[in-house]
Amino acid sequence: DLTPDNHLIYFGRVMEDKGADIAIDVALATGIPLHIATSSIRGNQSQEFYDTKIASHIDGTSVSLSGYLAGKEKSDFIKKGKAFIMPLRWDEPFGLVMIEAMACGTPVVAYNRGSAAEIVNDGVTGFIIDTDEKGAWRKKGSWVIKKTGIDGLIEAVKRIGEIDRMACRRRVEECFTLPKMVEEHEKVYKKVLNV
């Protein structure tokens, strides 16, 4: 069943670079609850960031927090989300969490940082939003959502019903399966080595 519940999801490390506080702001602005799943292991969160930017928002209604999830519990958490919010403040080289979300049929709303635009097919498997942060390394894109920053994230969440959840799953099957990833890596290695 690919019918989501009416909540947004964020999972991963709770650190400033990952933007969990921005995801909370989006949830509060749209009135759609945010469910956060994260490990309490010290390396997975900045205690100061958590204490000052996250903790005061966790009320079990607008923003709820669960611990580390794995296996079926994790995939159930992901597939129930209306959208996965990934408002990165840094250029993450490979966002496996975006692939995990799409594999479960959950669209991704992400800032155009790091690998996001290579993983998410804008307007098909989610929305890519240009950050309004000065100095972001990526050029502005020609995305479906023209607003930038948090305004763009909010508009994307409001339009998330335009995304076909089966298209999210297909994207993973076409581009990110283990055999496909091995094949593509081998092509790059052969090119580099002139083989």
In whole angstroms, give the CA distance from residue 105 to residue 65: 22
- Give start and end residues of each alpha helix (H) in 31-95: 47-49, 71-79
Residue 83, both tokens: 């959208």
Q: Quick check: 21 and 85 in contact, CB under 8 A? A: no
Query: Residue 154's pLDDT is what?
Result: 98
pLDDT of residue 75: 95
Contact 88, 18 (CB under 8 A): yes
Helices H, strands E: what count in the chain? 8, 6
pLDDT average per 10 residues of sequence, the chain (195 residues): 90 93 98 93 80 95 93 96 96 93 98 95 98 67 94 98 97 93 90 89
pTM of the shown model:
0.91
DSSP assignments along 90-125, one per residue: S--S--HHHHHHHHTT--EEEES-TTHHHHS-BTTT
In three-state secondary structure terms, 148 is: coil
Q: Tell me which residue of 12, 32, 171, 30 sits closest to 87, measured CA to CA.
A: 12
Tokens 């945010």 correspond to: 34
At 19, which amino acid appears?
Answer: G
Q: What is the DSSP letter of 178?
A: H
